[in-house]
Homo-oligomer: A and B are copies of this chain.
């Protein structure tokens, strides 16, 4: 991945949700031992546990649709904060659920890994 932080964020988000929707175990390549996931308040540390969590979610099919994507530099070392809002469809469900997800991407050897990952469904107020 190359380019400015906005391009990198868009490339990452497209790749992340495409991988999530087609080959969840392959998401492991995006995390490291120090990576953190907070998924609906459940906290997991490290790539192995994160992939276990993501692959054990109780649905067969999922499709994410991105509504908004924002990015900012998160430090002077090239980190990127990303905030996504979107909708997802699970299995044969017809009604999408809204979600938000915040990532911090950290540079490593010409690419990036996910250091922070926080996911929440958004229910109507």
| Cβ-defined contact, B125 with A83, below 8 A | no
Contacts A74-B104, A98-B98, A104-B74; A122 near B41 (Cβ below 8 A): no
Chain B residue nearest to A37 (CB atoms) is B72
Residues in B with CB closer than 8 Å to A73 are: 36
Residues of A in contact (CB 8 Å), total 32
* Total identical chains: 2
Q: Is the interface of A mostly helix, strand, loop or mixed?
A: strand
Residues in B with CB closer than 8 Å to A122 are: 67, 85, 98, 100, 122
| Cβ-defined contact, A118 with B83, below 8 A | yes
Sample of 26 A–B contacts (CB below 8 Å): A36-B73, A38-B70, A38-B83, A41-B68, A67-B125, A72-B116, A74-B74, A75-B75, A81-B81, A81-B102, A81-B104, A81-B116, A83-B100, A83-B102, A83-B120, A85-B100, A85-B120, A87-B125, A98-B98, A98-B122, A98-B124, A100-B120, A102-B102, A102-B118, A104-B104, A124-B124
